[in-house]
Amino acid sequence: MNIHYEKDVDLDVLKDKTIAVIGYGSQGRAQALNMSESGLDVVVGLRKGGASWEKAKTDGLTVLTIEEAALKADVIHILIPDEIQEAVYEAAIAEGLEEGNTISFSHGYNIHYNYIKAPKNVNVTMVAPKAPGATVRREYEEGFGVPGLVAVEQDYTGNAKEIALAMAKGSGLTRAGVLETTFKEETETDLFGEQAVLCGGATELIKAGFQTLVDAGYQPEIAYFETCHELKLIVDLIYKQGFGGMWHDVSNTAEYGGLTRRDRVITDESRAAMKEILKEIQTGKFTREFALENQAGAPMLKRMRAMEDDLQIEKVGTKLRKLCGLQK
């Protein structure tokens, strides 16, 4: 495992180069501002008149249309949602690419699954912070950084890795450490983590625990505290100290109960389902499904969002988060 820190990386590889950050959402804003404040030449490429145009200008950045930014830049860093990257690339970026340019991403999705097919005479790289954009920005402003990943899919110029690492340093990632990976590894593990554990698995576990208590006659508010609210406390302990530190800090009752009962919740059937989810990611089945969903206007996603909003745990949670001062 190769890990790079501040002392290992030279920003001079990006001297006299312009970086176009395409998109100004959570990651786009954080990375654009961080790199700019690190002394790199950054422009932002946006849809003219879009919601982010004035925001980026107010932040003090040079704002151009996507076509203009891509033409001006030596490095085009694409930070718009996965599902629109291919269309935007074909319409506004591909034609203006020049030999020796670098196209860069923070997620390997569109390159790994061949939705974006880069020409052979450019670099294809990845700089991926392992934190939400707001955290990337806050940590940078406080003099720290979040860990990150870099990957090179195509090295035309011979220094594609050095370019990616310099961008990572500009974003503050080398302060915490940057690991080398591949587009395949980052994409497949990222999708699996989201689906099986972080977003899909965790929310379903919380919902099931909440509903079990409510169906047994316990107050929904108490059920929410026990199955959702306190989860952050446990995750924070694991994040800082690992499993061992968490077990040390909870009660002996919690430790014994958790260790002796957890495999009755996550069973062999659950593990088999995880393997199936991973297989669907590896074979491209999930990405084909997601592409069809978006081509149809995302009807299933919209329906599931509405169903999620209507859950009892969401209504109870909104009320309790306001009481706790966590939500306005």
- Average pLDDT per consecutive 10 residues, the chain (328 residues; last block may be shorter): 92 96 97 98 92 93 97 97 96 95 97 97 97 96 96 98 98 97 97 96 97 97 96 95 96 97 96 98 97 95 95 92 82
- With respect to residue 328, please indicate whether it lies within any of the assigned structural domains: no
Q: Tell whether 81 and 210 lie within a shared domain.
A: no
Between CA 134 and CA 141 the distance in angstroms is: 11
Structure tokens at 22: 């395409």
Query: Quick one: pLDDT at residue 82?
Result: 95
Known catalytic residues are 107
Residues of each annotated binding site for NADP(+): 24-27, 47, 52, 133
Strands 178-180 and 18-22: unpaired
- With respect to residue 292, please indicate whether it lies within any of the assigned structural domains: yes
Q: Tell whether 166 and 261 lie within a shared domain.
A: no
Residues of each annotated binding site: 24-27, 47, 52, 133, 190, 194, 226, 230, 251
According to DSSP, residue 74 is labeled S
Query: Quick one: pLDDT at residue 137?
Result: 97
What amino acid is encoded at 147 in this protein? P
Q: Tell whether 104 and 221 lie within a shared domain.
A: no
Query: Quick one: pLDDT at residue 280?
Result: 98
Residues of each annotated binding site for Mg(2+): 190, 194, 226, 230
List, in order, residues 6 or more apart from 135 with CB less than 8 Å away. 146
Q: Tell whether 117 and 199 lie within a shared domain.
A: no
Query: Quick one: pLDDT at residue 49?
Result: 81
This prediction has a pTM of 0.91
Q: Find the CATH number of the domain harbouring 119.
A: 3.40.50.720
Of 182, 215, 241, the residue at which a domain comes to its end is 182
Query: Quick one: pLDDT at residue 193?
Result: 97
Handedness of CA 285, 287, 292, 293 (dihedral sign): positive
Listed residue (49, 39, 45, 48) closest to 25, CA to CA: 45
Query: Quick one: pLDDT at residue 303?
Result: 96
Q: Tell whether 220 and 319 lie within a shared domain.
A: yes
- With respect to residue 221, please indicate whether it lies within any of the assigned structural domains: yes
- For the chain, the domain total comes to 2
| Domain span at 265 | 191-323
Listed residue (129, 112, 68, 115) closest to 93, CA to CA: 68
Burial grade of 79 (CB within 10 A; 0-12, 13-18, 19 or more): buried
Between CA 25 and CA 79 the distance in angstroms is: 8
- Backbone φ and ψ for 3, nearest 5 degrees, come out as -120, 135
